[in-house]
Amino acid sequence: QLQFVESGGGLVQPGGSLRLSCAASRFTLDYYAVGWFRQAPGKEREGVSCISNSDGNAYYADAVKGRFTISRDNAKNTVYLQMSSLKLEDTADYYCAAVSPFECRHIEVVTTPLSSWGQGTQVTVSS
């Protein structure tokens, strides 16, 4: 069963930065595109970014474009999400999951990824 472990969340002030990590558990990350998703209180989960496994292309939702950067280190079996210029509306639980190449290019509308949802990591942006 594909599953990831997310970490790196915390409390940060508006304008601050955080780096989230997504570690693959018991499988090799090389074969999968990986997306980051978030769920704010009272809202549906939404895809915010994805990185392909074939060419390393990255995709971003409009809401985070220019502020978030996704990367992967296959040697460490980990995908990262560097979040900068954080806004109050970025407050959410963040999750990562494996997705298909097609889903990666359309990450904003993905609701059912290939892997199970992990515990997530909480990001709170507050002054």
Decide: 63 and 48 in contact? Cβ < 8 Å: yes
pLDDT digits (tens, 9 = 90+) for 62-94: 999 999 999 999 899 999 999 999 999 999 999
pLDDT digits (tens, 9 = 90+) for 4-46: 999 999 999 999 999 999 998 788 888 899 999 999 999 999 9
Six token digits for residue 40? 């704010």
H/E segment holding residue 83: strand 78-83
